[in-house]
Structure 1
Amino acid sequence: MTDTDTSRGQQSDSPVRDATRVATRVIENVEEVIVGHHDEIEHIVIALLGRGHVLLEDVPGVGKTMLARSVAASFDGEFKRVQFTPDLLPTDVTGVNVFNQKTQEFEFRPGPIFANVVLGDEINRAPPKTQSALLEAMEEGQVSVDGTTHAVPSPFTVIATQNTVERNRAYDLPMAELDRFMTKLHLGYPEADEESAMLGEVVGHHPIEELTSVATLEQLTAAQNTVADVTVEEPIRTYATRLARFTREHAELGVSPRGSISLLRAAQARAVLDGREYVVPDDLQTEAPVVLPHRIRTDSSDQSATDLVREALDSVPVE
């Protein structure tokens, strides 16, 4: 019997071990399609385990959408894709009430937001009003339409992509929306050998066509519950607070309390990925560069948000 069969068919005496296995299987599965982005894949899986959402930002053609699809295909839940365009309406995302002539009543027809993994492709192509259709679902796990609240499926994760080119044809994401993404990642161009390996894999049949799920929704939910139970001692919480306060004191807009919460949840998931039941400072330091910068607005053109986070990690002591 394989590890997969064991984890699917039997109870383990270690929830952390089970969660680690699930995360590792998903990472390895995605790497069957995506070459050369191991760290980024880890960060996405960590966001999933921490009940967070992911924003992938980069130039066109580096694999953002394929990465999101590969992660979604690794679970047996429902996956839906929304192609954001300038004419997309909020109801195209959330759903709409439609009058049924037979019953003489309005019926709710759910939009694509009602899925376990939702890919918002080129999210910055849609106007702010349409982008805002995601906010309630991302924060509260529900959608309100015509005064009625509808719960989205659980587990629920949004993986959004946005291009960094053609800014004149796109809309900036408001801070209220950016702050709801646990992690913001940049893929970048692959190395020469990685690109060559990728080209060898996609000639003929694309590997994503053969990708199958390696984890159930029940296993993902159990892993998320395990992550939520990971111990975060008071010194770790204090350290996260000090990092956030450092950004607030040295930037026009610093990390919000929501950002601090996201950092701790990501650190909990990192601990589980490493097979631990408790968070250590290294977990925060590993996740901070992808969890904090997109929440910061610096007041100097000489220092980027990423630089400020790096300075915070170098300056704030671990006590």
Structure 2
Amino acid sequence: MRSGSHSLKLKTTTRPPLFSCGFFRQCTQSVLSPTTVNPPAAAAAAELEDSDSSSSSNTSQSFTQWRFPMGAADDQPKEVDGRMPPPPTARRAAEGNSRSLEENFHVAEIQFGSGSDSDRLRAIHLLERCLVPDPRSAADCPAGVMAGVVSCLREGGAAARRSASKVLLALSLAEENRRVAVEAGAVTAVVEALADAETAAAERSLAALELLCTTAEGAAEVRAHALSVPMMVQVMGKMEARGKEHALSVLGVIYGGSRSESESDVAVAPAEEVARAVMLALQGECSARGRRKGAQLLKTLQENGGLDLSEQCEMNG
């Protein structure tokens, strides 16, 4: 559908050469080299070492600056018999660390199953303390625990959602947990929680979603969700470099690759609208990985949709 003089033109017979202007040459120079590939798991693992201040101007340094705070500040401890006891956060961390991961999973599953909001919050904070410092040890997450994490992401308050985004990303780093997360509804929870998520939590959730899309089940879920494309386009327009990277990668899953018969009738946004949003995102602050993902996505959209991107390229300089 046309929209004034700024609409993209569809070619039916011939196509212009890919990346026919300086903008696309700039996007694809060097970043398309296979030596620069940064697998999603490696990028997300580095992201777990960043700080929650992701909205600062330093976010262009992809996945290098974060440090996770382990929870809200507790009341100051009082002196007992001339000595200061450890603060409550330290005591709780020590209690969690004294148990094995399997035992912590068991405790969290019981707390999630109690139906109490306070127990659910305690469970997600327990998982945050024991998983975030060493996320690669978090294999074989029980289905009940994963369901509790997803419920916190979908229905919890701000504190629960922040912790749930950290825990989901930590769990998703282990390949064994990704299908468990998809079966628990993590794809739908992430997509639908993005609208009002805090920036740091949204970035971590998108990183987890990118990992979930490495499974066939996760890719199918994200393609089937009606809000996937609109939400990815929205976050590209308002988030910093890391959020753009993950959104571009998820869009690449949606528009790239082959679709199964059940997915062939799933409606997605017009390719020209997505291409316009990608081009605008790449003009702003974007990392090398994000530019590579964006260039690959534009190439896919042009090849599969028969788009003429030259006019839009001229309008964007």
TM range (shorter): 0.3 to 0.5
* TM-score calculated relative to the size of structure 2: 0.33
| Bigger CA radius of gyration | 2
- TM-score of the pair, normalised by structure 1: 0.33
Larger helix fraction of residues: 2
